[in-house]
Amino acid sequence: MTSQPRNFLEIDDLTPAELVDVLRLSMSGQLPPLLEGRSCALVFEKPSARTRHSVEMAVVQLRGHPLVIRPEEIQLGVRESIADIARTFGCYHSVVGLRVFSHQMLAEFAKASPVPVVNLLSDQAHPLQALADLLTLAQEWKLTPADMPAGFAGRKVAYIGAANNVARSLALGCAMMGVEFCISCPPAYGFKSEDIALSVLACQSDPPACYSETDPAVAVKGADAVYTDVWASMGEEDEAAQRREDFAGYTVTTEFMWQAAPEAIFLHCLPAHRGEEVSAEVLEGPRSRVWRQAENRMHTARGLLAWLMGARP
């Protein structure tokens, strides 16, 4: 009997100890060629710059072969069922990554897949991004592999923006590492109460690990990192004009950064819209770590793939 493969659809598919192991592997420049003679299929239903390139390079660094597939080539669920494609891919590839509109579809794919499935971004979650975010925080806070997770405790991340895929995975990742997570957005754009994973996390500690604060100037107070993402995600383009109105006052500006902790850094998953969710001055300014964050996408993708292939630090 074959064992069920481990998937990475959301960051809490890992236990906190496993998440630390993935971060430790991501810090290691030298990993064995765990994908030698093997391939990784990468399906993109949406555009991507960072995710595609970082994961492709991570596969190459582990000596594997990345194979990028456009949705029209396979027509998931149209030409044949999602389960049949998952089982077919499992005949050739050691890992399958998918960037999809529907998280539900990703879950259906993973259920049928005989090999690990990695979420390259869905409407609900972006866990690969959260891995890179946590590595960037760890580096900024000068944490060694041995310092994790304890060194994360007592820090605060303020997220100014909609409770989207990036926010969800980051909130969970922060809570798993003991980092306080405060989200600030107009109430209509906050986490829904039916988002069980987050509300459970919020109840797990006192004061809660994850909470919301409508006023961004209050949310950023004392934060060690201020994070934002686009107001309208891919697939929400029709709402962009409305969201620009609704998010007035939520642009991360230099004035907001002054309210944060003295050494606070600015993070953004990118792509960024200067003048909307963040001012050009902050994005390009001395506190911005967005390029290191982008680079870390590759290191953490490599760490995760190595972990999925059985590596342990």
Nearest distance in Å: CB 56, ligand CP: 11
Side by side, which strands form the sheet with 95-99? 65-69, 39-44, 95-99, 117-119
Regarding 234 and contact with ligand NVA (CB under 6 A), the answer is yes
Which of 267, 269, 282, 283 touches ligand CP (CB under 6 A)?
269
Q: At what angle do helices 16-27 and 165-177 cross, to 10 degrees?
A: 100
d(CA 174, CA 242): 30
Q: Is residue 60 classed as helix, strand or coil in its secondary structure?
A: helix
Nearest distance in Å: CB 171, ligand CP: 16
Which of 9, 11, 41, 48 touches ligand CP (CB under 6 A)?
48
In the range 129-148, which residues lie near ligand CP by CB under 6 A?
A: 129
Nearest distance in Å: CB 216, ligand NVA: 18
* Residue 287: CB atoms within 10 Å: 16
Nearest distance in Å: CB 2, ligand NVA: 34
Cβ pair 142, 265 in contact under 8 A: no
| Among the residue ranges 88-96, 161-169, 190-198, 257-265, the one whose residues contact ligand NVA (CB under 6 A) | 161-169
Regarding 50 and contact with ligand CP (CB under 6 A), the answer is yes
* Residue 83: CB atoms within 10 Å: 14
| Among the residue ranges 12-20, 48-56, 135-143, 238-246, the one whose residues contact ligand CP (CB under 6 A) | 48-56
H or E segment at 55? helix 50-61
Residue 105 binds what, of ligand NVA, ligand CP, none (CB under 5 to 8 Å, by partner type)? none
Using the CB atoms, write b or e for 88-107: b if 16+ within 10 Å. ebbeebbbbbbbbeebebbb
d(CA 268, CA 276): 13
Regarding 51 and contact with ligand CP (CB under 6 A), the answer is yes
Regarding 229 and contact with ligand NVA (CB under 6 A), the answer is yes
* Cβ distance to ligand CP smaller for residue 33 or 47: 47
Give the residue among 130, 132, 226 at the shortest CA–CA distance from 174: 130
Regarding 164 and contact with ligand NVA (CB under 6 A), the answer is yes
Nearest distance in Å: CB 50, ligand CP: 4
- Residues lying near ligand CP in the complex (CB under 6 A) are found at 48-51, 121, 129, 269-270
